[in-house]
């Protein structure tokens, strides 16, 4: 079940990233992020009210606040990278962030089986292969700085979401969204700019927010059911969905090594899923 939830979160994150990156080509990344966070907040608030999760112990609070700050920095950087560079390359490169939760998981004493370790290695190699053109400099390096910032931030997000979810996945994610919204509103008030968002932008912002919030919640639940080192690797395959959508919708052409990388990564996921069954 943990593997299935992690895989579903990856598909949803990839879809939200595609929509977010596409919208960031028309609107400022900070505005796209704010809009999506508001809609995600509404979804999570509904979940909390229906389930009565506000009664949970407050151990999640500082994790949620930390996630809000880290998420703000990493998502703005990621949307800027997606807006400046090919989605099919930037997104896989950012997925290397999974190294951070894997290392943390091992440091906490997690002991994956030999098959799970093989799956982690194979999936990670697949992500690197899918990022091949960016790593070799065959593409523009302009979005690289944004990509590095996003990768570090995402790695920390995996850890924070897992830690907060030990108390309450829904309250962790709700605090995450609340903190991000406060930061963004303060920033927009200081700059006195709404970024030119119109009513026509609201449906796509709602889609991004709902899909992303749902993915975060699914990963949080998955991390309580399985090891962080395995659930984070499976969830890190979201670039596959982003790259496929970019190829289909935007006609972005992937290189042969990227197709090999996607295939190798999926082999790793299958091995992880089978080992954890």
pLDDT digits (tens, 9 = 90+) for 63-82: 999 999 998 898 888 878 87
Whether the per-residue pLDDT at 87 is higher than 80: the answer is no
Per-residue pLDDT, 273: 60
Q: Which residues lie closer than 8 Å to 5 by C-beta, 6 or more apart? A: 218, 219, 221, 222, 225, 231
Q: Which residue has better confidence, 215 or 33?
A: 215
Helical spans, DSSP H, in the chain? 2-23, 29-51, 61-84, 87-94, 99-107, 114-130, 132-136, 144-165, 169-191, 202-225, 228-235, 238-249, 256-276
Whether the per-residue pLDDT at 133 is higher than 70: the answer is no
Angle of CA points 78, 17, 205, to nearest 5°: 105
Q: Which of 87-101, 126-140, 225-239 has the lowest mean pLDDT?
A: 126-140
Query: Per-domain residue ranges for the chain?
Result: 2-276
Per-residue pLDDT, 120: 74
- Which of 49, 33, 53 lies closest to 172 in space, CA to CA? 53
Q: What is the mean pLDDT of the chain?
A: 81
HSE of 116 in the Cβ direction (CA atoms, 13 Å)?
20
Q: Which residues lie closer than 8 Å to 247 by C-beta, 6 or more apart? A: 88, 253, 254
Tens of pLDDT along 189-207? 776 666 667 788 889 999 9
HSE of 11 in the Cβ direction (CA atoms, 13 Å)?
8
Per-residue pLDDT, 203: 92
Mean pLDDT of 107-135: 72
Instruction: Report yes or no: 238 and 91 within 8 Å, Cβ to Cβ.
Output: yes
Whether the per-residue pLDDT at 16 is higher than 80: the answer is yes
pLDDT band at 138 (very low <50, low <70, confident <90, very high): very low
Mean pLDDT of 116-139: 66
Can you tell me the distance from the alpha carbon of 23 to that of 19, in angstroms, rounded to the nearest whole number?
6
Mean pLDDT of 217-228: 88
């Amino acid at each position: 079940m943990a593997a299935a939830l992690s895989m579903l979160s990856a598909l949803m994150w990839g879809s939200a990233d595609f929509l977010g990156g596409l919208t960031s080509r028309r609107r400022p990344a900070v505005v796209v992020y704010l809009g999506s966070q508001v809609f995600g907040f509404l979804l999570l608030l509904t979940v909390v009210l229906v389930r009565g999760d506000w009664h949970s112990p407050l151990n999640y609070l500082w994790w949620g606040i930390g996630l809000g700050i880290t998420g703000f920095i990493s998502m703005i950087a990621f949307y800027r990278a997606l807006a400046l560079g090919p989605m099919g390359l930037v997104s896989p490169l950012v997925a290397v962030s999974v190294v951070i939760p894997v290392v943390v998981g091992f440091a906490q004493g997690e002991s994956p089986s030999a098959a799970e370790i093989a799956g982690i290695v194979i999936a990670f190699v697949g992500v690197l292969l899918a990022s091949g053109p960016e790593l070799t400099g065959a593409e523009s390096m302009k979005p690289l700085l944004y990509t590095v910032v996003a990768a570090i931030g995402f790695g920390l997000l995996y850890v924070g979401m897992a830690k907060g979810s030990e108390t309450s996945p829904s309250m962790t994610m709700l605090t995450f969204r609340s903190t991000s919204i406060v930061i963004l509103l303060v920033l927009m008030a200081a700059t006195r700019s709404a970024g030119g968002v119109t009513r026509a932008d609201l449906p796509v912002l709602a889609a991004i927010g709902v899909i992303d919030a749902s993915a975060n919640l699914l990963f949080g639940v998955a991390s309580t059911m399985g090891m962080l080192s395995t659930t984070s690797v499976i969830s890190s395959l979201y670039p596959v969905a982003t790259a496929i959508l970019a190829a289909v919708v935007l006609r972005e052409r992937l290189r042969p090594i990227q197709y090999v990388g996607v295939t190798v990564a999926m082999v790793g996921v299958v091995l992880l899923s089978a080992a954890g069954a």
